[in-house]
């Protein structure tokens, strides 16, 4: 994947916090839930609840948001992959 990985990070969202809706251009993003409960808006078409061990991929040209509706921290891995090598 040389040149394809733009970001790989562990993210923690406190209860009630979110990463707002955004569109991916030139890359896609995968959220993999490690702890807590996530509410993901998938391209403004549906809302999906994700639990530990589950993931959701947002492809290039699509958008999403993620929030923590729970009472404990939401911890997830975020992987942004470029559509073309950089």
Q: What is the pLDDT of residues 9-65, one digit of tens each?
A: 899 999 999 999 999 888 899 999 999 999 999 877 889 999 999 999 999 899 999
Contact of 50 with 13, CB cutoff 8 Å: no
Residues composing the chain:
86
Q: Does domain 5-82 have CATH number 1.20.120.1750?
A: no
The Cα angle at residue 60 between residues 55 and 62, in degrees rounded to 5? 75
Residue with tokens 């406190």: 14
Of the candidates 61, 62, 8, which has an alpha carbon nearest to the alpha carbon of residue 40? 62
Choice between 1 and 20, residue whose per-residue pLDDT is larger: 20
């Amino acid at each position: 994947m040389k040149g394809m990985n733009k970001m790989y990070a562990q993210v923690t969202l406190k209860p009630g916090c979110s990463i707002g809706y955004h569109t991916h251009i030139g890359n896609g993003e995968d959220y993999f839930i490690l702890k807590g409960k996530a509410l993901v808006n998938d391209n403004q078409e549906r809302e999906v609840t994700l639990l530990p061990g589950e993931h959701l991929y947002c492809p290039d040209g699509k958008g999403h948001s993620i929030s923590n509706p729970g009472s404990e921290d939401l911890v997830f891995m975020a992987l942004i992959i470029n559509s073309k090598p950089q």
